[in-house]
Structure 1
Amino acid sequence: MKKSMGLLFTLLILAGCGSVPLTGRKQLLLVSDQDVVASSLQQYNDYIKTSTLSTNKAQTAMVERVGKRIAAATEQYLWGNGMGDEVKNFSWEFHLVKDPQVNAFCMPGGKIVVYEGLMPYVSSDDELAVVLGHEVAHAVARHSNERMSQQIMAKYGGEILGAALSKKSAAIQNVAGTVYGLGTQYGVMLPFSRQHESEADYMGLVLMTMAGYNPNVAVNFWKKMSAGKSGSTPEFMSTHPSDATRIANIQKYLPEMSKYKK
């Protein structure tokens, strides 16, 4: 009996495996994309309703312009590489909100928010593309789905073969708060893991390059960000590898970006 349960558990995990576009990394995906989007949408809508959208027309237009261009390039890549069925999972939104924090975040389905506090670090569309490419990458890599799947595994363990999956909606709702975090003491979406953030750095460079932006600005941009505001590290960078490691990784990725240029 124990052996058969172990086999079933292994088969369940194998059935729930997926691969990240561009990197090919295997990931645990026990929840459908539709369920992930549905579980996060209410939190996102509540956040937008209670937030104050920026009145800076130029910066708002900049966020929307760069975001939509990267989203379009992303969808073109998915269609061109046999992943067109994933495009239906995205309903892109790009908002600039009044908040002094140096931050930005991405919710499932392509709901991306940038805080006004980040904009002083941005001197061009190319530099903003570094941020928005990174955030779009989180959505494309299904990092929220992966994090939710990990939380369900941690919370339910062996029960995932029974009650947890037979009552999947309840299981998803039970872990949603710890996955998204909107409304908690963080006030915004909880940070992704360092693995996810590093992966989004790489994928973001690729996506911004596909969209026609210059990835070479990324090094100087992250150097500005690493300096932080008033000497402190911005929340946007808090879960990443050390600044030096991150910048070194980006410098290592840059030569590869030439093959993604338009």
Structure 2
Amino acid sequence: MDILTSFTFLIVAVGTMVLAFAGGMVGTISVMKGQSLIGDAIGHATFPGIVLAFMLIGVKETYTLAIGAVLFGILAFLAIQMITSHSKVTLDGALALVLSSFFGLGMALMSFVQGNPDFEGTQGLNDYIFGQAAYMLRSDVYLIITASFISLFILGAFYNQIRIYVFDPVFSRTAGINNNLMNFIILVVTILLISVGLKAVGAILIVNLLIAPAVIGQLWSSRFSIVLLIAGCSGSIAAFLGTYISTAGQDIATGPAIILTLSALMVLSLFLAPKGIMRRSIYKRRMGGDMP
């Protein structure tokens, strides 16, 4: 109970829960569109933007680093589009190329900054690789809440158009929906959430915060709105439990604790959910066929 009333715990818990809720909902759309790995590539690609922003400003200011991450996230997506449009490289190949190249650039810049006496206060930049939510400040939480609110507001404003676009792009074009605009909106909110969530879970683990809740939601329901809600709630629950475990354990990093908790919820859902292994096995034995 002492942990639950701790100011530090409450700051971290609120920030990670809001991030996980919005990330789960937005990530579900990306997963349903078959673009889940784009989030992984963008997550890794934002790291050099953070280091470059620090090099230009000279201080680890939350909003400046987030802008650097957003710009490089957009640059990474444009690079993926250019590679797939003007070469014979497949999407998977382009994702792997951009992910490794951008992240390698970030690590090279990080090594340069840490070994250069002209740059001071580099401690903490490594936290953006694996995340260090325990050191989140109020400004970090305010930024996460603002970005999450903007993302959810945009998602709500274009909910019907996005739903049609996700399930039937051909019909959405016939209905007068701009598919390019829908794709751009999904991209923007994804990059926004990845950029503000790096300090919490890191560039390497952020993709799990987008994909795992989506998998959980789809295992429990087939209705789009319910899947989104379950994804958001499961992300928030994992964030709270992971933050609590990290705070109580002291030696456990918050980001990995959240991801492991979320993975545990996904495994449980894989067995116990209506579309899970056990329910499907029972249905198959009783009805002599697969579930609809």
Structure with a larger share of its residues in strand: 1
TM normalised by structure 1 equals 0.29
Structure with a larger share of its residues in helix: 2
Q: Which of 1 and 2 has greater Rg?
A: 2
TM normalised by structure 2 equals 0.26
**Higher RCO (CA < 8 A, seq sep 6+):** 2
